[in-house]
């Protein structure tokens, strides 16, 4: 199919079935692939990557040694931007996640966040959840980052249990419990002495990323780990 025909079909589809901006609900133009231009530019950016020892890095300090960490925009439950995360995870829109992660990775590149990084590692999804949802949103985010940076995706962590058991009580037990859900994959061995960035959709408590970073560091000698999330809850 020629580009012209594809563009025409795309425009025709937009007329028949208008695509909407998930944030403001406005009809998207043919040059607005997933979000409208206004919502994209008004996104509540954290710019954490520009701050030394930022709030996200402090969240992990003392739990697991990491090189650096950032999240692209602030997640707040009541914010219209939360719809993006919901669509990516539950409403079959991982393509939007890939596109936004690619955009985000390009936006933060000038901070040096991706300098010296050897692999992009998605937070895994357990096979039972994968079967139910049909895709792992973090895999799409990792692909978007890879597209922007040229750094390969390596599925170095696997989800060995679907759920944390509910018998544990208290914050410390919950953290330990999340740790038991993840393990380094055999492919992680190639990452000895390398620097990887683990990618997730949203950071709230940090337990998932902490568990993945710990799994890698327990199994892979000399590995250096950084963390990237598309969104991060406000950490005060």
Per CB under 5 A, residues contacting Zn ion are: 21, 23-24, 36, 39
Which residue from 62, 71, 188, 65 is spatially nearest to 124, judged by alpha carbons?
188
Dihedral pair phi/psi, residue 158, rounded to 5°: -120, 150
Which residue, among 164, 169, 198, has the nearest Cα to 181 in the 3D structure? 164
Task: Output the six-digit token pair for 133.
Answer: 């949802």
Q: How far is the CB of 100 from Zn ion (least distance, A)?
A: 13
Nearer to Zn ion, 39 or 220 (CB): 39
Buried b (16+ CB within 10 A) or exposed e, 200-212: bbbbeebbbbbbb
Q: How far is the CB of 157 from Zn ion (least distance, A)?
A: 34
* Minimum separation from the CB atom of position 36 to Zn ion (A): 3
46 and 71 Cβ atoms separated by less than 8 Å: yes
Which C-beta is closer to Zn ion: that of 23 or that of 157? 23
Query: Shortest Cβ distance from residue 232 to Zn ion (Å)?
Result: 21
Sign of CA dihedral 22, 30, 104, 153: positive
Question: From CA 84, how far away is CA 68, in angstroms rounded?
Answer: 25
Q: How far is the CB of 80 from Zn ion (least distance, A)?
A: 8
The residue (of 188 and 230) whose beta carbon lies closer to Zn ion is 230
Coil, helix or strand for 14? helix
Residue 8's CB is within 10 A of a number of other CB atoms, namely: 12
Choose between 36 and 120: whose C-beta lies nearer to Zn ion: 36
CA dihedral over 85, 233, 163, 146, signed as positive or negative: positive
Closest separation in Å from C-beta 21 to Zn ion: 3
Which of 88, 197 has the CB closer to Zn ion?
Answer: 88
């Amino acid at each position: 199919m020629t580009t012209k025909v594809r563009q025409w079909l795309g425009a025709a589809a937009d007329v028949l079935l208008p695509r909407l901006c998930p944030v403001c609900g406005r009809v998207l133009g043919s040059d607005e692939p997933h979000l409208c231009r206004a919502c994209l530019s008004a996104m509540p950016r954290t710019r954490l990557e520009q701050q030394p020892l930022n709030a996200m890095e402090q969240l992990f300090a003392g739990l697991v040694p990491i090189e650096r960490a950032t999240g692209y925009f602030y997640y707040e439950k009541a914010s219209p931007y939360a719809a993006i995360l919901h669509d990516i995870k539950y409403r079959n829109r991982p393509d939007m996640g890939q596109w936004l992660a690619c955009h985000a990775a390009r936006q933060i590149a000038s901070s040096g966040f991706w300098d010296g990084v050897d692999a992009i590692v998605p937070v895994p999804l357990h096979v039972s959840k994968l079967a139910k949802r049909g895709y792992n949103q973090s895999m799409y985010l990792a692909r978007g980052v890879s597209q922007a940076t040229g750094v390969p995706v390596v599925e170095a962590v696997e989800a060995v249990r679907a759920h944390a058991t509910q018998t544990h009580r208290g914050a410390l037990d919950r953290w330990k419990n999340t740790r038991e859900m993840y393990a380094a994959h055999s492919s992680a061995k190639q990452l000895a002495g390398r620097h990887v960035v683990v990618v997730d959709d949203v950071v709230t408590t940090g337990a998932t990323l902490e568990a993945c970073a710990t799994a890698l560091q327990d199994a892979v000698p000399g590995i250096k780990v950084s963390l990237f999330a598309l969104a991060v809850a406000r950490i005060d």
